[in-house]
């Protein structure tokens, strides 16, 4: 089991995915694409950490 990460150990989601900063300013279909991309990337990272 891993220890909890401190606040500075991982960049914030917004700094890692700058497209989230303007999510409220884009069309709903683009929002869905953006969220889907972010979730896919985060899932990939989790999968890599589990290996």
How confident is the model at residue 43, as a pLDDT?
A: 96
Q: How far apart are CA 48 and CA 18, in angstroms?
A: 22
Predicted TM-score of the model (pTM)? 0.72
Q: How far apart are CA 29 and CA 48, in angstroms?
A: 29
How confident is the model at residue 4, as a pLDDT?
A: 55
Distance of CA 21 to the CA centre of its chain: 12
How confident is the model at residue 21, as a pLDDT?
A: 92
- Over residues 1-51, the pLDDT tens digits come to 455 555 555 678 989 999 999 999 999 999 999 999 999 999 999 999 998
Three-class DSSP category at 38: helix
How confident is the model at residue 18, as a pLDDT?
A: 94
Q: How far apart are CA 25 and CA 33, in angstroms?
A: 14
Task: Check the CA dihedral 7-9-15-21 and report its sign.
Answer: negative
């Amino acid at each position: 089991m891993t220890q909890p990460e401190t606040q500075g150990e991982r960049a914030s989601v917004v700094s890692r995915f700058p497209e989230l900063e303007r999510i409220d300013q884009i069309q709903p279909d683009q929002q869905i694409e953006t969220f889907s991309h972010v979730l896919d990337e985060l899932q990939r990272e989790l999968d890599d950490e589990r290996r």
